[in-house]
Amino acid sequence: MKPKELKSPYEIMQSMVEILNTKYPEHGKKKRGSIQFYFSYDNREWECYIKADKSHLEFHAGKAENPKVTLRCDFFHWLELSSGKLNPVWGMITQKLKFSGRASFFGVLPKPDLNVNVGDMDDRLSTFEKNAPRNRKQHPSVIIINASPRAGNGYTEQFVLKFAEGMREAGAGVEEIYLAKLNIKTCTGCWQCWIGENGCIFDGKDDFGALFEKLNGADMIVYALPLYVDGMPSILKNYFDRSVRRVYPYICSDTRKTRHPRRIENRKNQETVILSICGFHEKSHFKALDTHFRAIAHNFHIPVTETVYRSGAMFLFNNPFFYRQQTEILNSMKQAGTELIAKGKIGRKTKRKIEQKLSSKKEFVKMTNYFWFDKITNQRDNKDY
Ligand X SMILES: Cc1cc2nc3c(=O)[nH]c(=O)nc-3n(C[C@H](O)[C@H](O)[C@H](O)COP(=O)(O)O)c2cc1C
Residues interacting with ligand X, by CB under 6 A?
148, 150, 154-156, 226-230, 277-280, 285, 313-314
* CB 4 to ligand X: min, Å: 33
Rounded to the nearest 5 degrees, what angle is found at the Cα of 208, between the Cα atoms of 242 and 135?
A: 75
**Shorter beta-carbon distance to ligand X: residue 14 or 368:** 368
Minimum gap (Å) between residue 351 Cβ and ligand X: 19
How far is it, in rounded angstroms, from Cα 157 to Cα 226? 10
Query: Which one, 20 or 144, has the nearer CB to ligand X?
Result: 144
Q: State the nearest-atom distance from the C-beta of 278 to ligand X, in Å.
A: 3
Handedness of CA 304, 331, 218, 309 (dihedral sign): positive
Q: Which is nearer to ligand X, 251 or 288 (CB)?
A: 288
CB of 339 closer than 8 Å to CB of 306: no
* 79, 91 contact by CB (below 8 A): no
CA distance 69 to 97: 12
Distances (CA, A) of 131 to 34, 125, 144, 306, 346: 61, 10, 21, 12, 15
Judged by CB, which is closer to ligand X: 278, or 333? 278
Expressed in percent and rounded to 5, the helix, strand and coil fractions of the chain are 40, 20, 40
CB of residue 168 to ligand X, shortest distance in Å? 21
Q: 187 vs 227, which CB is nearer to ligand X? A: 227
- Closer CB to ligand X, 76 or 317, in the complex: 317
Nearer CB in complex with ligand X: 209/231:
231
Q: Which residue, 48 or 232, has its beta carbon nearer to ligand X?
A: 232
Q: How far apart are CA 322 and CA 339, in angstroms?
A: 25
- Could you tell me how far CA 60 lies from the centroid of its own chain? 40
Least gap, CB of 315 to ligand X (angstroms): 9
Identity of the residue numbered 89: V
Burial class (CB in 10 A: 0-12, 13-18, 19+), 360: exposed
Strand 220-226, strand 271-277: pairing: parallel
Question: Measured from the CB of residue 154, what is the shortest distance to ligand X in angstroms?
Answer: 2
Q: Report the residue closest to ligand X, judged by CB.
A: 154
Shortest reach from residue 160's CB to ligand X, in Å: 9
The 10 Å CB-count burial string (b at 16+, else e) for 71-87 is bebebebbbbbbeeebe
**To the nearest whole angstrom, how small is the minimum distance from the Cβ of residue 275 to ligand X?**
11
Q: How far is the CB of 355 from ligand X (least distance, A)?
A: 14
- Considering beta carbons, is residue 202 or 223 the nearer one to ligand X? 223
Per-position DSSP letters for 197-231, written without gaps between them = TT--TTTTTSSHHHHHHHHTT-SEEEEEEE-BTTB
Whether the CB-CB separation of 30 and 51 falls below 8 Å is answered with: no
